[in-house]
Structure 1
Amino acid sequence: MPDRLDAGSVRRWCAATLAALRREQREIDALNFFPVADSDTGTNLVLTLQAAVEAVAANGQGESVRGESARGESARGVWKRMARGALLGARGNSGMIVSQLLAGAAAALPADEPVRGRALAASLRAAVAAGYAAVAQPVEGTVLSVADAAARGATAADSDDLAVVSAAALRAAALALESTPAQLAAMGLPGVVDAGGRGLVVMLDALDAVVRDDVPLLDALGAPPADPVNEQPALGAQEGWEIQYLLDVPLNGSTGDDHRIAALRTRLTEVGDSVVVACADPDDGGHAVWTVHVHAHDIGPALEAGLVAGRPHQVVVTPLIVTGGLDEHDHSGHSSGGDPDPSAARAVVAVVPGAGLAQLFAAEGAVPVEVAPGTFPTVGELRAAIERSGATEVVLLPNDGAYAAVAEAASAAADADCTVSVLHTRSPVQGIAALAVADGTRPFRNDVVAMAEAAAATRWAEVTVAEEAGLTVVGPCRAGDVLGLVDGDVVAIGADTERVTRDLVDRLLNAGGELVTVVLGSDAAPTLGDALSAHLRARWPFCEVHLFDGGQPRAVVLLGVE
Structure 2
Amino acid sequence: MAQVPQPLDALAVRAWCTLALQALGRAREEIDAINVYPVADGDTGTNLYLTLESATAAVEAVFAGYEAGAAVDAPRPTLAGTIQAMAHGALIGARGNSGTILAQLLRGMAEVLAADDESARGDARMLRLALRQAADSARQAVAHPVEGTVLSVASAAADALTGAEGDCGDVARAAYEGARAALMATPGQLAALKRAGVVDAGGRGLVEVLAALVETLTGEAPMPPRGTHARVESDPPDTSTDTRTDTCEDLCADESGPAYEVIYLLEADDAAVARLRERLDALGDSLVVVGGDGLWNVHVHVDDAGAAVEAGVEAGRPYRIRITHFAAEDVHTGAAGRPPRERAQRAVVAVVPGEGLAGLYEEAGATTVLARAGEPPASGELVAALRRAHAREVVLLPNDADLRHTAAAAAEQARAEGVRVALIPTRSAVQGIAALAVHEPERRFDEDVVAMTSAAGATRYAEVAIAERQAWTMAGICQAGDVLGLVDGDVAVIGSDITATAETVLDRMLAAGGEMVTLVLGDEAPASVAARLQARVREAYLAVDTVVYDGGRQGPLLLIGVE
TM-score, normalising length: structure 1: 0.50
**TM-score, with structure 2 as normaliser:** 0.49
Which structure has the larger Rg over C-alpha atoms? Answer: 1
